[in-house]
Amino acid sequence: MSGGGVESVARAPGGVGGAANGQAGCGGQFQMPLHYPRYTRGDYETMPEWKIDCLLKQYGLPISGDVEQKRKFAMGAFLWLH
């Protein structure tokens, strides 16, 4: 660019990272949560699928498979053996 004019910058469509991009409910962008989840095995075994999806998405983990696969994955990722 020459002559000191104003250069335009392309932007993504409105609502990037928010509900407007079709990811309402549990956030649209990955941002590392401040705390490690403190759910028990029983909590994971009764947790509804939407909540497991949100938890996995919060930590940038895959959310594919059926609800039982997601439960097993979440328990493997977040439960520690004592």
Residues near 13 by beta carbon (within 8 Å), at least 6 away in sequence: 21
How does DSSP assign the chain, residue by residue? --SS-PPP---PPS-TTSGGGT--SS-SS----SS-----HHHHHH--HHHHHHHHHHTT----S-HHHHHHHHHHHH----
pLDDT beneath 70, residues of the chain: 1-25, 27-34, 82
pLDDT of res. 5:
62
Asked if residues 30 and 37 have their Cβ atoms less than 8 Å apart, the reply is no
pLDDT at residue number 18: 43
Residue 80 has what pLDDT?
84
Q: Is the pTM of this model over 0.85?
A: no
pLDDT of residue 81: 78
